[in-house]
Amino acid sequence: MGRIIVSQNVSLDGVVQDPTGDDGFARGGWFSRMSDVDREAWAEVEYAEAVDADAMLLGRRTYDYFVTRGWSTQSGPWAGRLRSLPKYVVSSTLRDPEWANSTVLDGDALEEVSKLKANLGGEIVVYGSQQLMPILLEHDLVDEFRLTVHPFVVGAGERLFGQTPGSLALRLVTTQILGAGLSHLTYERVREA
């Protein structure tokens, strides 16, 4: 059975909406404000995560974000690793994915993701995918959260943990300072035996 790992950039107050400012959210763009030192340290952690991953699980908008920014054609070890990974895209509209090794999951999202988790081994990493997150959280499909916390209070916007169907028990596994201003926190899901 696979482990679903949510890997997110979040503001200090938990906002995940429009980190690059591309979607027109008035308070977006906070991700782009990190220093070069922070960006380099962040990239090292993200690349290492991609090396350890066995697959990616993405919503349609996040998939499009990666493709439109050239991740499907860029050179370099990180882009090459992401290109080589199996990618599973939850979408009812995507028909011909252009990124290598992409499979569209166009049925019921809960059923498709549950089957994927049951049939794949290793780490299935979820980036972004805010529309998919409520399904993953509601049905307790997430095993681990890896959060890169950016030192900005956005004050409004969609949060990683908006409304949840109940409380989530988590255990802090690791903390790491990245660069001069980022924190990288890893939490495991704690389930009753």
Q: Which CATH number covers residue 75?
A: 3.40.430.10
pLDDT at 89 over 70: yes
* pLDDT for position 21: 83
Of all residues in the chain, the percent with pLDDT exceeding 90 is 73
Residue 25 belongs to a domain: no
In this structure, of 20-24, 27-31, 38-42, 73-77, the range with the lowest mean pLDDT score is: 20-24
* pLDDT for position 130: 87
Residue 174 belongs to a domain: no
Across residues 72-100, what is the average pLDDT?
Answer: 93
* pLDDT for position 70: 86
* pLDDT for position 108: 92
Across residues 36-62, what is the average pLDDT?
Answer: 95
pLDDT at 129 over 90: no
Across residues 154-174, what is the average pLDDT?
Answer: 87
Residue 159 belongs to a domain: yes
Domain count along the chain: 1
Across residues 83-101, what is the average pLDDT?
Answer: 94
Domain containing residue 61: 36-164
Consecutive H or E run containing 79: helix 77-84
How confident is the prediction for the chain on average, in pLDDT? 92
Residue 41 belongs to a domain: yes
Name the pairing type of β-strands 182-189 and 170-178. antiparallel
Residue 149 belongs to a domain: yes
Specify burial of residue 192 (Cβ count, 10 A radius: 0-12, 13-18, 19+): exposed
Read off the pLDDT of residues 19-29 as tens digits, 9 standing for 90 and up.
888 888 889 88
Residue 111 belongs to a domain: yes
Distance between CA atoms of residues 58 and 62, nearest Å:
6
Distance between CA atoms of residues 50 and 96, nearest Å:
24
Residue 65 belongs to a domain: yes
* pLDDT for position 56: 97
Residue 130 belongs to a domain: yes
Kindly report the pTM of this predicted structure.
0.93
pLDDT at 193 over 70: no
Distance between CA atoms of residues 162 and 170, nearest Å:
16
